[in-house]
Amino acid sequence: MSHLSADVLEQAKGLVALYPEPRSALIPLCHLAQQQDGWLRPEAMSEIADLLGVTAAEVQGTATFYDMLHTEPVGTYVVSVCTNIACLLGGAQELLEHAESALGVRAGGTTTDGVFTLEESECLADCDRTPCVQVNHRYVGGQTAESFDQLVADLRSGALADMVPPHGTLVRVRRSVGLGADRGAIAAERAAMADAQATRAADAAAKTEADTKAPADAATVSGPPPSTVSAPAEGPKGGGAA
């Protein structure tokens, strides 16, 4: 008996088919499993491993690297309070402290009724509305202590159920169409494109040769050699990872 439901399995197989290598579907499949269970259960990781042709340890080893994949149970609503620089300047530390006392848990903890998990998160990229809060990775705008209490009440009463699905549901829009099935045709087309490109390059080279020959025959024109594209200076530029 499969742990993943028939519908999830079918979606999973569709996702695997999108990629040239099955393992690429690992993260999308983990999201799917979280959609079913709310968190990433060991049984789900084993089945994902079977679907991808890797070991369960490889699935777990990858999943534990990522903040959004929870290998321990979390609440129905994961509340992420960003305290990174822009939000810090907007009072996020104070909001997080308020959230801790309002929910009665420290950041990282889950309420005893299993409804809320509170997280202190890194930048969520919504920095003109600070302090930024997401619930199950849906933006709920910049929050104050008062609006946070209202948010918690609305989540409890189900008033935000349309906007914020239970934890684990990431993308509710399914891919409707695609080329995923017909890789043979793509390969043939690629070959044809490469041939055409080679032909054009050969034509261009022949033309350049003809052009450069003419003045050389005249033997009077001397000028700078044709400029060549210099190889870029290799090496990483200083910069952020994102």
Partner 1 sequence: MAITEAPKIVTARLGYEDSHTLERYLATGGYEGLRQALTMTPEAVAHEVDAASLLGRGGAGFPAGRKWALLAKKPVTYLTINGDESEPATFKDHLLIERDPHQIIEGVVISAYALQVSQAFIYLRGEFAFGLERLQTALNEAYAHGAIGADIFGSGFSIDVVLHPGAGAYICGEETALLESLEGKRGFPRIKPPFFPASIGLYGQPTVVNNVETMANIPWIITNGGAAFAALGEGRSTGTRLFALAGHVRNPGVYELEMVKTTFRDLIYAPVLGGGIRGDNTLKAFIPGGVSAPWFGPDQIDLPLGQDEVGQAGSMLGSGSVVIMDSSTCVVRAAWRITKFFSRESCGQCTPCREGSGWLERIMYRIENGAGREEDLDLLMDLCDNISPGVAWPPQQTTICVLGPSIPSSIASAIRMFRDEFLVHVKEGGCPFD
Positions 173 through 202 that interact with partner 1 (CB under 8 A): 173-180, 182, 185-186, 189-190, 193-194, 197, 200
Say if residues 68 and 75 touch (Cβ distance below 8 Å). Answer: no
234 is a contact residue toward partner 1 (CB under 8 A): yes
Interaction residues for partner 1, span 147-166 (CB under 8 A): none
Out of 56, 102, 123, 145, name the contact with partner 1 by CB under 8 A.
123
Angle (deg, nearest 10), helices 6-16 and 42-52: 40
Residue with smaller CB distance to partner 1, 97 or 122 = 122
Report, in Å, the least distance between residue 215 CB and partner 1: 24
Report, in Å, the least distance between residue 226 CB and partner 1: 16
* Nearest-angstrom CA–CA distance, 170 and 3: 20
Report, in Å, the least distance between residue 218 CB and partner 1: 29
224 is a contact residue toward partner 1 (CB under 8 A): no
Residue with smaller CB distance to partner 1, 152 or 168 = 168
242 is a contact residue toward partner 1 (CB under 8 A): yes
67 is a contact residue toward partner 1 (CB under 8 A): yes
Sheet containing 77-82: order of strands? 116-121, 77-82, 132-135, 138-142
Q: Which residues contact 222 (CB under 8 A, 6 or more apart)?
A: none
* Nearest-angstrom CA–CA distance, 51 and 43: 13
94 is a contact residue toward partner 1 (CB under 8 A): no
Residue with smaller CB distance to partner 1, 176 or 220 = 176
Residue with smaller CB distance to partner 1, 28 or 38 = 28
56 is a contact residue toward partner 1 (CB under 8 A): no
* Nearest-angstrom CA–CA distance, 202 and 33: 52
Contacts 24+ apart (CB under 8 A), 29-32: 30/59, 30/63, 30/66, 30/69, 31/68, 31/69, 31/168, 31/170, 31/171, 32/4, 32/8
45 is a contact residue toward partner 1 (CB under 8 A): no
State phi, psi for 113 to the nearest 5 degrees. -80, 0
28 is a contact residue toward partner 1 (CB under 8 A): yes
20 is a contact residue toward partner 1 (CB under 8 A): yes
* Nearest-angstrom CA–CA distance, 90 and 127: 9
136 is a contact residue toward partner 1 (CB under 8 A): yes
Report, in Å, the least distance between residue 6 CB and partner 1: 22
* Nearest-angstrom CA–CA distance, 59 and 46: 8
* Nearest-angstrom CA–CA distance, 91 and 106: 18
Report, in Å, the least distance between residue 97 CB and partner 1: 13
